[in-house]
Amino acid sequence: MHARSAFSALDDPREAAAAAATSACAGEAEAPALVLAFVSPPHAGAAGAIAATLREATGASRVAGCVGGGVISGSEEHEGRGPAIALLAVFGDEGDGLSVTTLVHPGAGRGGADGPTAERAAARAVREALSGPTDRALHVLLPCPFRFDAAALVAALDAGGSFLPTVGGAAAPAPGEQRCVAFADDTVVAGGAVSVLLQGRFRALVACAQGCRPLVPPGRVTRSDGNVILEIDGRPAVEKLAEAVGRAEKLDGVRAVFAALGLDGLSAPTEAGDFLIRHVAGVDREAGVVAVAAPVTTGTPVTFAALDPASARADMAARVEEIAAPFAGGAAAPSFGLLFECLGRGRGLFGEPNADSEAIAARLPGLPIAGFFGNAEIAPLLGRSYVHAYTGVLAVVAPRSPR
């Protein structure tokens, strides 16, 4: 397979979609198997018109996408509030067996009476769409972070059979909205999610670059109640937080402090990539407890971490190097990439535009890439898929070497 990326900043959404489609498909003999389109908030109300225009202009078998807080095309990150469309057209080549399935999942409302019922149903639908081995598949998930529980979906997927790598990003709302828009083919969903399932003779390589670094050595939760950490290593949880805050105040360029929960399966996490970053939801200094934006069980390794531009830049460079290394050794060149960035990265974190996308372009020059800035990122670590925060997730699809 091969792909081409395109971008348009035209004000009119139909004209922008048509211009990007024309650019992506110029000179191609066949219609694309898939067009992914990520649009900025000014185009949110025209998502259906954009999808219809893309299908008409490209003849694509499948069209999908969502609204992002900013969009990414190639090595350029468009973070402004103006209209923008980043497009990736994926073309099947002879012998690669590429198939694409799109699924629309309605949202039930996070924490609603239905619980994760909608998310479990979505996971079953994705599993039922599989027609081959999961190591020749990639699941792209584009959920609304306010009305659809992506963590519940990926947990159900992981529990439902052999590991299926899931990547993606949580869509961003239009100003004043709490239902984020995604679309697949001729359906627009507000407050739900869209899945794109790619299958064929390819391999997917995924990098998850952290934006935060641990401030103090981790301890272990010795008492908890739901999402409230009562004690760490037998001492009030607030003491560990105070130690981390004191450390953060002595460091240059460090931003806000977050909880860092050790990944399942790691008995002694130490590196930034060993933790899931979660917001501190509240602190009761008198009681000595810390609430975080996730359930916490006794025995979980925990520390506190800070958003740090220097370590974020270094971690992206290291993760990209890991992905690029096989191609430098003579493996077939990658076909395309998808980049899902936290809204907390970009210019606001690094002080300049294009930091992550340029790091990728330096090691994978010419790679067609599309992506967006969103409210969360989804990527696998240690054989499970997780919802992340303040990360940059790069998924690279490459031909599978013949055997």
pLDDT digits (tens, 9 = 90+) for 164-223: 999 999 999 877 777 899 999 999 999 999 999 999 999 999 999 999 999 999 999 999
The span from the first CA to the last CA of the chain, in angstroms, equals 18
Q: Does the pTM exceed 0.85?
A: yes
The average confidence (pLDDT) of the chain is 92
**Tens-place pLDDT, residues 132-152:** 999 999 999 999 999 999 999
pLDDT category of residue 113 using cuts at 50, 70 and 90: very low
**Tens-place pLDDT, residues 279-327:** 999 999 999 999 999 999 999 999 999 999 999 999 999 999 999 998 8
Which position has the higher pLDDT, 271 or 348? 348
Is the pLDDT at 109 greater than 60? The verdict is no
